[in-house]
Amino acid sequence: MSQKGLLWGSVVVAALATLLPDVFAYYALVLVLLGLVMGFLNPIEDVATRVAMYVLAVFLPIIADAGGDPAMGTPNDGVLLDIPVLGEFLVGFLGNLATVIAGVAIASFLLVLITGLMAAGDDSDDGAAEPE
């Protein structure tokens, strides 16, 4: 139940950050914290799913803003920005969701790192066996 609530909360905060960016200055911090909490409360055990989260965290903003940024002098040939009225909203919303996914990916990485460090000194044979 908490996972579903966190996911809905993330969607609402991402939408607010897209529609009302000037109302609150710390949307990105809230989105990352929501992602971290989601990642710690629901750890990803499957390696393929973890890798998919890492890839999605990196490439979702690139996919959302495919084509460049007119403010940076690169031409706007992205598909989503060509959609009248909704294009900018979709790019912003997907970018904000990528921030949540990055939080989940960071939490997943930290959990794997902690698990690996805890198991690193655990020798069940007290070091009696020869190394392979």
Tens digit of each residue's pLDDT (9 = 90 or more) over 64-87: 776 655 566 555 556 777 778 888
What single letter denotes the amino acid at residue 76?
N
Residue 128 lies inside a defined structural domain of this protein: no
Residue 82 lies inside a defined structural domain of this protein: yes
Which pTM was predicted?
0.79
Distance linking the first and last C-alpha atoms of the chain = 46
Q: Is the pLDDT at 28 greater than 70, yes or no?
A: yes
The CA distance from 90 to 95, in Å, is 8
Instruction: Give me the helices (H) in 80-120, please.
Output: 87-120
Look at residue 17 in the predicted model and tell me its pLDDT.
Answer: 96
Look at residue 108 in the predicted model and tell me its pLDDT.
Answer: 93
Share of the chain above pLDDT 70, in %: 80
| Listed residue (82, 26, 93) closest to 60, CA to CA | 93
Residue 107 lies inside a defined structural domain of this protein: yes
Residue 131 lies inside a defined structural domain of this protein: no
Q: Which domain holds residue 23?
A: 2-120
Residue 77 lies inside a defined structural domain of this protein: yes
Look at residue 63 in the predicted model and tell me its pLDDT.
Answer: 80
How many structural domains does the chain have? 1
